Structure 1
Amino acid sequence: MQRITITIDDELAAELDAHMSTIGASGRSEAIRDLVRRGLATIPQETEDAGCFGVISCAIDQSVRNLASRVPQSRLDRHDQTVAALSVPIDHSTSVDVTVMRGRVSDVTSFAEALFLERGVMHGTLGLIPVAEDKVTHVHNEGPPHEHTHLKVRSSF
């Protein structure tokens, strides 16, 4: 681990301390490492073909014409990428929807952006989790060796 010295103004230090207590960090270094990781993970760096999990969340006005059927159908159209979906009713016409998708960054991002452009979709966010596939040959119990694909979460793209 490397030691790095930074200088920040008092106001930013106070915001960092408030963030630190919010996330339960034990010190400024831990909080800064967390913020740097998050920040670096959002910077696109030739990520179009990189593997990822995408967590897509938004509020959906279910009363908008056909939106309540178009959103689930859009997930079914990408059934090979959709891992999970959750819809939580908020009031008589609005739900919070969360979809977890797996695939290439470009595919997950294009799905999310198309969803966010729909009339009646609000507060859309996309969180990308970079992953790499690792193929390993193992033996389970006394059976023959066979290959498995394991996913490994990466710290950045």
Structure 2
Amino acid sequence: MQRVTLSVDDDLLATLDRHMKKHRYASRSEALRDILRDAAAREALEAGPAGKEEGFCIATLAYVYDHETRDLGRRLTQAQHKHHDLQVATLHVHLDHDSCLEVSVLRGPVKAVRAMADETVSQRGVRHGQLHLVPAELDNKRHSHGGRGGHDHIHA
């Protein structure tokens, strides 16, 4: 681990200290490391590994919608089937007589996941949409799940 000296003005230091206390970090160093990890993750999502290709991600898309909106349930289901390659799982919760919450776990190229999220939350009747992206790397190695022989498939 490297030790660095950092000079910041009083306002930025106060911001760091508030962030540290709010998130209960033990030290400024821990808070700064997490801030830098977050910046690195955002960079990876935009550029992909070493800037060579589009980033890959695991994501959650959460949104609330009015199930009484004409044809909305059908349109949302069609969009999910259209992007079946990105879908891992979906949780559906009835919030009240009119509102439903769906949380979809997605996996794929950042650009495709964002496009699907935009297509979903822009539907008339959908509100409070939020996409959370986590950078991931693809691993396509031959392996076994305890049985004989191995097989290839992609892990994120």
Question: Does the TM-score normalized on the shorter chain lie above 0.5?
Answer: yes
Output the amino acid matched with 1:32: L
Please give the per-residue CA displacement for 1:101-140, whole angstroms capped at 9, x wherever unaligned. 1111221111011112112222222222222222334466
The structure with more strand, counted as a fraction of residues? 1
Give yes or no for the alignment of 1:104 onto 2:109.
yes
The structure with more helix, counted as a fraction of residues? 2
The within-5 A match list for 1:58-73 is 58-73=63-78
Give yes or no for the alignment of 1:6 onto 2:3.
no
Aligned match for 2:96, one of 79, 91, 94: 91
The within-5 A match list for 1:9-20 is 9-20=9-20
Q: What is the DSSP-based 3-state SS (H/G/I as helix, E as strand, rest coil) of the residue aligned with 1:151?
A: coil
Q: What is the DSSP-based 3-state SS (H/G/I as helix, E as strand, rest coil) of the residue aligned with 2:65?
A: strand
Q: What is the DSSP-based 3-state SS (H/G/I as helix, E as strand, rest coil) of the residue aligned with 1:135?
A: coil
Q: Percent identity?
A: 35
> Is the 2:47–2:55 Cα contact (8 Å) retained in structure 1?
no
Aligned match for 1:45, one of 40, 44, 47: 47
Q: Which residue of 2 aligns with 1:26?
A: 26
> Is the 2:54–2:110 Cα contact (8 Å) retained in structure 1?
yes
Q: Which runs of 5+ in 1 are unaligned?
A: 153-157
The CA RMSD over aligned residues, in Å, is 2.7
Task: Provide TM-score, normalisation by structure 1.
Answer: 0.75
Q: Which runs of 5+ in 2 are unaligned?
A: none
Aligned positions, number: 151
